[in-house]
Chain A
Amino acid sequence: GESVGLHLPTLSVQEGDNSIINCAYSNSASDYFIWYKQESGKGPQFIIDIRSNMDKRQGQRVTVLLNKTVKHLSLQIAATQPGDSAVYFCAENFQGSSNTGKLIFGQGTTLQVKP
């Protein structure tokens, strides 16, 4: 069915370490993936996105990896900072609903950064 899942509900890391947040998706027809960060009391904030014709994309301190063979998506955050503490969501867009603004979200992973 339509579902996007994350492997761990909570991830705790030491400040300065690298963080890796994982996501499994179920629909091989999905052609667009996106990561959002949500802080308490705020709406989701765009981090990075990737299309299915790519397997890696880098931003500032963040990298998204896409493995279509096993339908796996990951978000890597380099040198994690206290300000990175938030809930992280992956989301996918199905070809069938392309260009309709409908994203299917995972349940989210809470990232806790220890000073």
Chain B
Amino acid sequence: KAGVTQTPRYLIKTRGQQVTLSCSPISGHRSVSWYQQTPGQGLQFLFEYFSETQRNKGNFPGRFSGRQFSNSRSEMNVSTLELGDSALYLCASREQGTNEKLFFGSGTQLSVL
């Protein structure tokens, strides 16, 4: 099976712009989670989607949003970008059930100038 695929791999934006990141989960995985990784804060949970519904959300402002499509692919959007949004954004998928094991993609490296 192919792993979790994230596009694009790198992005450079300026303050005030908005950005959309894409994630394709492992085939058969219906749950998709998003994490932000920075050197200072480490890996922080953004949100999780399952069957096109947001099931849980982390402590991020409303500028961070996401959605999931019927084929389980997911997108996250960040509006009104700030310098502090520069980070590696990781998507992870997992099988439904009691197994919490997440499989991560390689991430999208976002730089806000």
Contacts and interface: CB of A to CB of B under 8 A. Distances in A.
Interface of A: 32, 34, 36, 41-46, 49, 89, 91, 93, 97-108
B55 A100 contact: yes
Q: 6 closest A-B pairs (Cβ-Cβ)?
A: A43-B104, A105-B43, A101-B48, A101-B33, A100-B56, A44-B104
Given A43-B90, A49-B101, A93-B100, A102 B48 contact: yes
Interface in B44-94: 44-45, 48, 50, 55-56, 58, 90, 92, 94
Is the interface on chain B under 10, 10 to 19, 20 to 34, or 35 or more residues? 20 to 34
Given A102-B56, A102-B58, A44 B100 contact: no
B106 A41 contact: yes
For chain B, what secondary structure do more than half of its interface residues adopt (helix, strand, loop), or is it mixed? strand
Nearest to B58: A102
Interface of B: 4, 31-33, 35, 42-45, 48, 50, 55-56, 58, 90, 92, 94, 98, 100-107
